[in-house]
């Protein structure tokens, strides 16, 4: 053997620690806990946390798809845990005798402790299923501090407990000489179904470990629409909130829900439903492909089509969407041609014209669907296209014939869209001839950067020439560009292409970004002007930087509307950011600091106030509260004061303070409410600073039918009233006030005093309670702290703007993301569209909750 071919005898230590000892085998669910992001997504932003819930709910939905479940209850419990209960068949509970594990385990335990274990890998138990990977509920088990599984099946209720994926208090029995580990039998049951109750592990979900009601409600509402006839309920024991999504109306109701804030063009929603044998189209023999679709057009210019396969959303469409579009183009095109509508208008109608203003939900049920990737964003099962095209084509043709008024309105909309597209093309050619958008020159307002790599470049869109001047002087010219815009740009929510090109500020913005503009056609893959290309973006960070007033907020909203409606690719790719300029500059001694907002200012003042501060409790056994103990109490006090300040817009401030002073409110029954009323009223008379007495009465709320306390004040012949509800008593806000009461009531006695400072400079003040002590400390901190409030960016000099808002090392930016496309569309339509009624209702419902109103 030559020297070159000798075997490598280098040790693992010599190779940087990479030898046979570095190879690990992760057993069971250990891999899930080691790399949770591979299984459930991001564990830091809340995505993975809520994915746990959806994995459990999807199992219940699969039971519903199989025809065995019609009731699902999801409950967020007060301790932060969550449970999902369904009335399906129940996970099998018997011991699986062919289990290779010793002792042999129940089928339920295997399903919850083994990856890729379940009943969805063949066509026997589930013909159609959304869960294909078999890692769902086992991941939930692995990532929970504890999980309790309760199964009611065959007249018996079984339970089994887990902790971080491991069985707790395991039962072991011997049957025919074989050790088995059955589930625990806890009694008889005349019901059937499964209950999964779990508490997520805070070691895994360190930053976001609290369930958000609105995220769960959004998905459960969606599932209710897609599975008509299944009752899905969501309850939150933390604040008493509850929703029942039964009777949502299927996909037809889904379309009407999305169109709720829009002006629909025709009263009748098109609905089609049908099944076809899968084998006919090359699918699995003995199975069926189910199709359900609803369509309704509105007066907007955007197309909104939501596609689902077995309840799984496909943001990129797929073969089911291709079949839908083919049917629409063929049937509607034939109707328009037969009635010579396009010929009379002297325009040529395209598929894009037919889909302008379309709101559609398409749901298919497919056995063993195929997707383009693990994310399931695109369906590629070839056997799906033909059934969708067949069912939609046949029923859409009948709809147009049987509903002539709807058909006339729809066709007029399509022809008008074709006219507008042609007008936009001519406007595009005109502006190109004038050299407005040909890219030959950048806008004169733009102060460009030196860097040519878009990935390293950023552009600040600033409000007005004043702020633009400071930003241009303060920026880093190497990679930061500045574009000042004058005034408020056009509201593009209801503007067509030719209207955009008449706005000089929008032309300036489009030219600076370099992408061009124009809607991308689904038919050709190009924009109508053959010019829009998001890949040509000149800056990969587009930063909106406006003043901290109502005008600045309005300009920011108009710009976000522009990007969301006209350049959604830039939002989806994460290119849009919002700058967070500071609202305050504070100076204490030689220290200067910029603070983002009011809460940050309060925290800073509290920090200064507690410097060399102590509180003497007074009384017979006085003690000194200082250091970490005082800081903890002060933080608790600040949290309670923040709650009072926020809620006092629509609740009685002195009633909130009474709760913080120890008054307990119980509203489970009307009798409890009647007991609390005189206690609260007496406390309010003691606390009143306005001289206006309050009357407190116990009532039954006619809407919720739950007990409430009504607080009424008579002043100059007017009555101002507010209420305390069960939801409030169960909320985090009430808990914050109650915590303050538990920690502060009785803390200070007669002779209590607060001291701040050292030696001869120390100052002392007598106080009656902890609130007075904190008020005095804060006032002392304010006395020694200089404060400047910035209303506009133009008030900052270039150095300050760089230090606070533009320096990548210290600045704070908000990245704009679309977490819920349906909700984003609804909000933009409501706030920026033509329909006044939804906007007025929104303002009336939320007016009292608004803060920092500049009037």
Residue stretches of the annotated binding site for Mg(2+)? 463, 547, 549
169 strand-pairing partners: none
Closest CA to 57 of 69, 46, 45: 69
Structure tokens at 88: 């399906």
Structure tokens at 676: 């609390």
Q: How far apart, in whole angstroms, are the C-alpha atoms of residue 72 and residue 810?
A: 48
55 catalytic per annotation: no
Contact 327, 393 (CB under 8 A): yes
Beta strands in 119-177 (DSSP E): 144-153, 156-163, 166-168, 173-175
551 catalytic per annotation: yes
How, if at all, do strands 231-236 and 242-244 pair? antiparallel
List b or e across 58-95, with b for residues whose CB sees 16 or more CB atoms inside 10 angstroms: bbbbbbbbbebbbbbbbbbeeeebbbbbbbbbbbbbeb
Element (H, E) at 545: strand 541-545
Specify whether the backbone of 72 is left (phi greater than 0), alpha (psi in -120 to 50) or beta.
beta
463 catalytic per annotation: yes
What end-to-end distance do the CA atoms of the chain give, in Å? 90
Q: Which one of the listed residues 356, 383, 463, 654 is annotated catalytic?
A: 463
122, 298, 477, 727 from 127: Cα distances, Å: 8, 37, 61, 42
318, 325, 773 from 528: Cα distances, Å: 22, 18, 68
- For tokens 């009798």, what's the residue? 671
81 contact partners, CB below 8 Å, separation of at least 6: 197, 198, 199
Q: How far apart, in whole angstroms, are the C-alpha atoms of residue 696 and residue 692?
A: 13
- For tokens 């309060």, what's the residue? 602
Q: Which one of the listed residues 70, 316, 549, 701 is annotated catalytic?
A: 549
Q: Which one of the listed residues 299, 476, 522, 551 is annotated catalytic?
A: 551
Count of beta carbons in the 10 Å neighbourhood of residue 746: 12
How, if at all, do strands 71-76 and 480-485 pair? unpaired
Burial, 499: exposed, middle or buried (Cβ in 10 Å; 0-12, 13-18, 19+)? middle
Structure tokens at 707: 């007990």
Phi, psi for 547 (deg, rounded to 5): -70, 160
DSSP string, 765-794: EE-SSHHHHHHHHHHHHHHT-EEEE-SSGG
Q: Which one of the listed residues 547, 661, 780, 825 is annotated catalytic?
A: 547
The radius of gyration of the chain's CA atoms, rounded to the nearest angstrom, is: 32
Q: How far apart, in whole angstroms, are the C-alpha atoms of residue 99 and residue 316?
A: 41
216 contact partners, CB below 8 Å, separation of at least 6: 50, 53, 74, 76, 234
Contact 240, 726 (CB under 8 A): yes
Residue numbers in the known binding site are 463, 547, 549
Tell me the HSE value of 133 on the side-chain side, using a 13 A CA sphere.
15
DSSP string, 590-653: TEEEEE-SHHHHHHHHHHHHTTTEEEE--SSS--EEEHHHHHHHHHHHHHHHHHHHHHTTTS-H
Count of beta carbons in the 10 Å neighbourhood of residue 679: 14
Q: How far apart, in whole angstroms, are the C-alpha atoms of residue 633 and residue 617?
A: 13
For residue 302, whether the previous peptide bond is cis, meaning omega lies within 30 degrees of 0, is no
Q: How far apart, in whole angstroms, are the C-alpha atoms of residue 404 and residue 409?
A: 9
757 contact partners, CB below 8 Å, separation of at least 6: 612, 763
652 catalytic per annotation: no
Could you give the residue numbers annotated as active site? 463, 547, 549, 551
């Amino acid at each position: 053997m030559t020297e070159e071919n000798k075997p490598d005898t280098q040790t693992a230590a010599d190779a940087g620690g990479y030898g046979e000892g570095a190879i690990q085998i992760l057993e069971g669910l250990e891999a899930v806990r080691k790399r949770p992001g591979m299984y459930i997504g991001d564990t830091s932003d809340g995505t993975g946390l809520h994915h746990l819930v959806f994995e459990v709910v999807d199992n219940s939905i699969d039971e519903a798809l199989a025809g065995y479940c019609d009731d699902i209850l999801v409950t967020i419990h007060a301790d932060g845990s969550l449970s999902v209960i369904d009335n399906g068949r129940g996970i099998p509970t018997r011991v699986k005798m062919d289990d290779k594990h010793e002792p042999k385990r129940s089928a339920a335990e295997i399903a919850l402790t083994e990856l890729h274990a379940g009943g969805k890998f063949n066509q026997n138990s589930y013909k159609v299923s959304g869960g294909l990977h078999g890692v769902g509920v086992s991941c939930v088990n692995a990532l929970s501090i504890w999980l309790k599984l309760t199964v009611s099946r065959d007249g018996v209720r079984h339970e089994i407990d887990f902790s971080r994926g491991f069985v707790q208090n395991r039962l072991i029995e011997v049957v025919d000489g074989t050790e088995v580990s059955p589930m625990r039998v806890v009694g008889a049951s005349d019901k059937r179904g499964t209950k999964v109750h779990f508490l997520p592990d805070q070691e895994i979900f360190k930053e976001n470990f609290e369930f958000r009601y609105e995220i769960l409600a959004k998905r459960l509402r969606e599932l209710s629409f897609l599975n008509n006839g299944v009752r899905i309920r969501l309850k939150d024991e933390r604040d008493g909130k509850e929703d029942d999504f039964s009777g949502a109306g299927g996909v037809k109701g889904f379309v009407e829900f999305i169109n709720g804030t829009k002006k629909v063009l025709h009263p009748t929603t098109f609905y089609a439903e049908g099944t076809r044998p899968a084998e006919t189209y090359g699918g699995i023999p003995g199975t069926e492909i189910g199709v359900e679709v609803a369509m309704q057009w509105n007066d907007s210019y955007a197309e909104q089509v939501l596609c689902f396969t077995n309840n799984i959303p496909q943001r990129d469409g797929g073969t089911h969407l291709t079949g839908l579009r083919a049917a629409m183009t063929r049937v509607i095109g034939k109707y328009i041609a037969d009635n010579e509508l396009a010929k009379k208008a002297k325009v040529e109608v395209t598929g894009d014209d037919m889909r302008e203003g379309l709101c559609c939900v398409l749901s298919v049920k497919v056995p063993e669907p195929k997707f383009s990737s693990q994310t399931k964003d695109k369906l590629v099962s070839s056997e799906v296209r033909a059934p969708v095209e067949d069912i939609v084509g046949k029923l859409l043709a009948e709809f147009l014939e049987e509903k002539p008024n709807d058909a006339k309105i729809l066709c007029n909309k399509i022809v008008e869209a074709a006219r507008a597209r042609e007008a936009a093309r001519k406007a595009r050619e005109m502006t190109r001839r004038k050299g407005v958008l040909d890219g030959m020159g950048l806008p004169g307002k733009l102060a460009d950067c030196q860097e040519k790599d878009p990935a390293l470049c950023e552009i600040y869109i600033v409000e007005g020439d004043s702020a633009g001047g400071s930003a241009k002087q303060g920026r880093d010219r190497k990679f930061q560009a500045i574009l000042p815009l004058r005034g408020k740009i056009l509201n593009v929510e209801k503007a067509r292409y030719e209207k955009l090109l008449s706005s000089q500020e929008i032309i300036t913005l489009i030219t600076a970004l370099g992408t061009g503009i124009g809607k991308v056609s689904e038919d050709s893959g190009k924009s109508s002007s053959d010019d829009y290309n998001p890949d040509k973006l000149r800056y990969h960070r587009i930063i909106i930087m406006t003043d901290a007033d109502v005008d600045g907020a309005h300009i920011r909203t108009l710009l976000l509307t522009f990007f969301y409606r006209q350049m959604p690719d830039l939002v989806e790719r994460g290119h849009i950011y919002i700058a967070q300029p500071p609202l305050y500059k504070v100076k204490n001694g030689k220290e200067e600091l910029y603070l983002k907002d009011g809460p940050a200012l309060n925290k800073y003042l509290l920090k200064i106030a507690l410097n060399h501060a102590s509180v003497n409790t007074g009384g017979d056994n006085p003690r000194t509260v200082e250091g970490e103990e005082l800081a903890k109490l002060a933080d608790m006090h600040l949290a309670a004061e923040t709650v009072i300040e926020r809620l006092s817009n629509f609740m009685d401030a002195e009633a909130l303070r009474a709760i913080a002073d120890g008054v307990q409110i119980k509203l489970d029954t009307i009798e409890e409410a009647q007991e609390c009323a005189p206690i609260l009223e007496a406390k309010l008379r003691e606390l009143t600073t306005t001289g206006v007495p309050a009357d407190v009465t116990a009532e039954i709320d006619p809407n919720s039918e739950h007990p409430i306390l009504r607080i009424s004040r008579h002043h100059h012949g007017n009555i101002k009233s507010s209420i305390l509800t069960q939801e409030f008593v169960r909320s985090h806000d009430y808990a914050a006030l109650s915590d303050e009461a538990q920690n502060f009531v009785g803390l200070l006695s007669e002779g209590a005093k607060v001291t701040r400072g050292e030696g001869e400079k120390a100052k002392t003040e007598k106080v009656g309670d902890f609130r007075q002590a904190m008020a005095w400390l804060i006032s002392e901190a304010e006395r020694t702290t200089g404060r400047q409030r910035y209303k506009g960016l133009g008030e900052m000099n270039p150095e300050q703007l760089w230090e606070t808002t533009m320096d990548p090392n210290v600045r704070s930016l908000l990245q704009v993301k679309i977490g819920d496309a349906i909700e984003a569309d609804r909000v933009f339509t409501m706030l920026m569209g033509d329909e006044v009624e939804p906007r007025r209702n929104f303002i009336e419902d939320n007016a009292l909750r608004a803060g920092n109103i500049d009037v």
